Amino acid sequence: MTLRVGGLTPLSTTDWPGMLAAVVFCQGCPWRCGYCHNPGLIPPRGEREVPWPDVMAFLRRRQGLLDGVVFSGGEPTLQAGLADAMRDVRDLGFKIGLHTGGMVADNLAAVLPLVDWVGLDVKAPFADYPRITGAAGSGERAYAGLQQVLASGIAHEIRTTVHPALLNDADLIGMARDLAARGVKHYVIQAFRSQGCKDESLCRNTTRARALQDVGVELAGLCEELTVRA
Ligand code: SF4
């Protein structure tokens, strides 16, 4: 089954920290986060899809120039063709990164052995997930995804996007403590960015009472690595 790709970034230094990577944006996502910065990738079919053979032709031209390829979204694990696509890319000699919300357990389990690094979103306290995603049962799915990633031992970054209207500091601090206790080694707190977001109210109201960096200082030492992207 061919992977549906909604877009391709030829070179990124930020989507997989420390690596020069191309980013393959997988089409489709069942969740509806208000702060989504790539809403064009949510529908199952995109307006500017890139055929998989074109992605492979591009990557062949980048062999030896890039360290890896990140499969992002949308939600990559939604697509049954993800594992085959990752095998194709591995066969070209690239390392594989994955951005995921951890929402499709079977497919996540199938691809984790092919992956060198995972960036997993944890959006809110798990019981509170539907308030962010609009999807019943999303917290249980994300929790299962977190457990899978941690059990795999694969290098990871667990990250939370913080919008002051959606996640207060007390919940964020509680989440960080909970994640550290579960064995998260690298936790990233990243400030909401309005670029690409279609929710005007969220884009307008971004004032914080307390700087995110200060919250990070309070959490210092909880995990092996804690990063604040303010
Ligand atoms: S899970 Fe990610 S891609 Fe899907 S709606 Fe939320 S932010 Fe957008």
Q: Quick: pLDDT tens for 78-120.
A: 999 999 999 999 999 999 999 999 999 999 999 999 999 999 9
**Res 47: pLDDT:** 87
DSSP states along 67-112: SEEEEESS-GGG-TTHHHHHHHHHHTT-EEEEEE----HHHHHHHG
In order of their start, the domains of the chain are: 5-229 (3.20.20.70)
Answer whether residue 1 shows pLDDT above 90: no
Residue-wise pLDDT tens digits, 22-79: 999 999 999 999 999 999 999 999 988 999 999 999 999 999 999 999 999 999 999 9
Q: Tell how far the Cα of 23 is from the centroid of ligand 1, in angstroms.
A: 16
Answer whether residue 133 shows pLDDT above 90: yes
| Residue 28 near ligand 1, beta carbon < 6 Å | no
Q: Which residues pair with 71 in a beta bridge?
A: 24, 98
| Residue 228 near ligand 1, beta carbon < 6 Å | no
Average of per-residue pLDDT across 4-17: 97
How many angstroms separate the CA atoms of 178 and 196, rounded?
30
Average of per-residue pLDDT across 178-205: 95
Reported confidence tier of residue 144, pLDDT bands at 50, 70, 90: very high
Q: Tell how far the Cα of 219 is from the centroid of ligand 1, in angstroms.
A: 26
**Res 181: pLDDT:** 95
Ligand 1 atom 6: residue of nearest CA: 33
Residue-wise pLDDT tens digits, 193-211: 999 999 999 999 999 999 9
| Residue 75 near ligand 1, beta carbon < 6 Å | yes
Contact between 130 and 98 (Cβ < 8 Å): no
Q: Which residues pair with 70 in a beta bridge?
A: 23, 97
Q: Which residues pair with 167 in a beta bridge?
A: none
Q: What pTM was computed for the model?
A: 0.96
